[in-house]
A and B are shown apart, each in its own frame.
Chain A
Amino acid sequence: DQQVKQNSPSLSVQEGRISILNCDYTNSMFDYFLWYKKYPAEGPTFLISISSIKDKNEDGRFTVFLNKSAKHLSLHIVPSQPGDSAVYFCAARGYQKVTFGTGTKLQVIP
């Protein structure tokens, strides 16, 4: 039972354009959501997070939006840069555990 889903395994975007990565969840008890970025042969690194009491959080080029009624969150990257090419994982916090999605591989084309 996949509680956190990233339905797009891959995404290609032109440099300078917006990248939108999506994530859906099923457990209404999740209270905190995070995005991680992963380069090949490295561990994931934290990117941005949002509390369930908010609907938007911004950090530079990265913005996360949360729609609780739809159990949906998205990560916007504007403008996209070639260095953003990586796998992005959505994650959701429950009681003592964090559940990850399957990841979306973003390719930013110069």
Chain B
Amino acid sequence: NAGVTQTPKFQVLKTGQSMTLQCAQDMNHEYMSWYRQDPGMGLRLIHYSVGAGITDQGEVPNGYNVSRSTTEDFPLRLLSAAPSQTSVYFCASSYSAGLAINEQFFGPGTRLTVL
């Protein structure tokens, strides 16, 4: 199993550009999520999904969109990049029993710089 994969590993954008961060998992997990990690801020939840076709906002959703058309994929879209979105982005997936999220498996991260 590849687990959770993320592409690209690194990306540099100019202010105003858009891009999509890809995330895929092969563990048939219902629950998937996106976090950003910033110095001194820990991991903050951007968006999450409890299953295909269902998404919801986390703690810091502004400037990001998500969709979940399949169980495996959960892409994160930056609509118009801003320097404040410079961060390391982690995708995670988890088996969930009902509404209870179990331990999450994280991808290796995408380091994004917005100039």
A residues within 8 Å of B by Cβ? 4, 6, 9, 31-32, 34, 36, 41-46, 49, 89, 91, 93, 95-103
Decide if B50 is an interface residue (CB 8 Å cutoff). yes
Counted as pairs of residues, one from A and one from B, with CB atoms less than 8 Å apart, the total is 56
Is B53 an interface position by the 8 A CB rule?
Answer: no
> Once the chains bind, are B42 and A100 in contact (CB under 8 Å)?
yes
Checking B4, B59, B99 against A95 with a beta-carbon cut-off of 8 angstroms, the contacting residue is B99
B90 near A: Cβ within 8 Å? yes
B interface list, Cβ under 8 A from A: 4, 33, 35, 40-45, 48, 50, 56, 58-59, 90, 92, 99-101, 103-109
CB < 8 Å neighbour of A43 from B50, B56, B90, B100: B90
B43:A100 contact, CB within 8 angstroms? yes
- CB-contact partner of A42 in B59, B103, B108, under 8 A: B108
**Distance A99 CA – B104 CA, assembled complex (angstroms):** 12
Interface centre among B43, B56, B101, B106 (most CB of A within 10 A): B43
Closest 10 CB pairs of A and B: A43-B106, A102-B42, A100-B43, A46-B103, A100-B42, A44-B106, A43-B108, A43-B107, A103-B42, A43-B90
A42 to B, closest residue via Cβ: B108
Contacts of B106 in A (CB 8 A): 36, 43-45
Interface of B is mostly: strand
Of A34, A95, A100, which is in contact with the most chain B CB atoms at under 10 Å from its CB? A100
B45: contacting residue among A31, A45, A98, CB under 8 A: A98
Residue from B103, B106, B108 whose CB has the most chain A CB atoms within 10 Å: B103
Q: What residues of chain A lie closer than 8 Å to B48, measured between beta carbons? A: 96-97
